[in-house]
Amino acid sequence: MSRWFVSRGARVTGVDFSNGALDIARQMSSGNNPEYYCASMLDLADKNKFDAIFCWGSIAIACKDSRDLRKVMANLHAALKDRGELLLLEPIHAGFLHRVLDMNVKEFVSIVRESGFDIKFVKPLHFWPARLLLAYFPMPKWLTESVYHIGQLLMKLPVLSNLGDYHAIHAVRMSN
């Protein structure tokens, strides 16, 4: 994603807790954009540095509980400039589908708000019953694509709208 943002004209800093992952990213990049550094989002120390932050599937794995989530949100808030944008694509679940963080979307979003963010939208992505089916049974591409698109359509029904495997959350850092 860092290289994609660079290809769209952004100045990018990629952060990961794994030096190995960063070594691969550096090998696949050229020049000094993106720049990379190793840090945990629980220890992120940047202040008023970024216009935007994008997290993809990392918060629900890094955070064990609401205390960790509050710490990460405080760190992200501090790292953003005033009115900076936060885009999260996270697998947020309570119960059997959770990764590490066992929390429902309503509580997650509440903590994001409490941390000084104005939520612009929350949108479910990737119908999880289809994800489970596609993850455990090999299928031809035509069937995989069909099941995926049927799942996306089913999430448009009000009764099934909360069955997204991931949630896209767009928020803006509010002033202190």
Residues 50 and 25 both lie in one domain? no
How much is the pLDDT for 103? 97
Q: Does the global pTM surpass 0.85? A: yes
Cα–Cα distance, 164 to 148 (Å, whole number): 12
Residue 160 in tokens: 């099934």
Residues 20 and 60 both lie in one domain? no
Q: Could you list the residue range(s) of the whole structural domain that residue 149 is in?
A: 39-173
Residues 34 and 77 both lie in one domain? no
Work out whether strand 35-38 and strand 50-56 pair parallel, antiparallel, or are unpaired.
unpaired
How much is the pLDDT for 132? 79
Residues 159 and 92 both lie in one domain? yes
The secondary structure of 28-46 as a DSSP string is H--TTSSEEEE--TTS---
Q: Split the chain (176 residues) into runs of 10 and give each run's mean pLDDT.
A: 93 94 92 93 95 96 97 98 97 90 97 98 87 82 88 86 88 89
Residues 54 and 135 both lie in one domain? yes
Least Cα distance to 55 among 77, 31, 23, 33 occurs for 77
Residues 25 and 52 both lie in one domain? no
Task: Give 150-175 as a 3 state SS string.
Answer: HHHHHCCCHHHCCCEEEEEEEEEECC
Residues 145 and 64 both lie in one domain? yes
Work out whether strand 117-127 and strand 35-38 pair parallel, antiparallel, or are unpaired.
unpaired
How much is the pLDDT for 144? 87
Residues 27 and 62 both lie in one domain? no
Cα–Cα distance, 65 to 72 (Å, whole number): 11
Residues 100 and 21 both lie in one domain? no
How many domains, the chain? 2
Residues 68 and 8 both lie in one domain? no
How much is the pLDDT for 176? 67
